[in-house]
């Protein structure tokens, strides 16, 4: 870390502690040449996720949109908001860990359906009916048949 006073690239860490509720680390450093102290902050570099929509347009990943769509499918069901927030966090974390900068709505939708199927089957079918754009009762029944076959 370059000293802000003399521009020497060498310094030593004197003190280190968490900052911003654990989101970063505050470090007190001392220059090895001029012996002046200065503070630096270390934070995690996050890769911005871009979602590729079905029409080919791109927009930033928005966890509130994902949570909102899941809330609609879980309306009047016994699925807690905390459970849905955990699912959104798991999906977002998995996408961040893959280090892909762009992800399709198809991939996100499949991840949501996989999680909802484990939590509440009715919510899963509701989400799938909107996400897969069921055209008629036959496609709806086909999806229900798949769900029953898995049991």
Map residue 144 onto helix, strand or coil.
helix
The predicted pLDDT at position 134 comes to 67
Residue bearing the bigger pLDDT, 61 or 148? 61
Q: 94-109, pLDDT tens digit by residue?
A: 988 887 889 999 899 9
Across the chain, mean pLDDT equals 87
Secondary element (H or E) of residue 141: helix 137-150
pTM for the model stands at 0.62
Mean pLDDT, rounded, for 115-130: 86
The predicted pLDDT at position 11 comes to 95
The predicted pLDDT at position 140 comes to 66
């Amino acid at each position: 870390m370059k000293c802000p006073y003399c521009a020497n690239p060498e310094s030593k860490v004197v003190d280190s502690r968490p900052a911003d509720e654990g989101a970063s680390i505050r470090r007190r450093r001392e220059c090895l040449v001029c012996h002046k102290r200065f503070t630096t902050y270390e934070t995690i570099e996050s890769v911005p996720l871009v979602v590729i929509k079905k029409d080919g347009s791109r927009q930033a990943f928005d966890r509130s949109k994902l949570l909102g769509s899941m809330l609609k499918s879980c309306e009047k069901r016994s699925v807690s908001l905390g459970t849905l927030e955990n699912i959104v966090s798991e999906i977002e974390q998995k996408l961040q860990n893959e280090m892909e900068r762009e992800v399709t709505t198809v991939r996100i939708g499949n991840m949501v359906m996989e999680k909802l199927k484990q939590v509440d089957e009715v919510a899963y079918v509701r989400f799938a009916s909107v996400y897969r754009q069921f055209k008629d009762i036959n496609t709806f029944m086909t999806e229900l048949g798949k769900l029953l076959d898995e049991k």
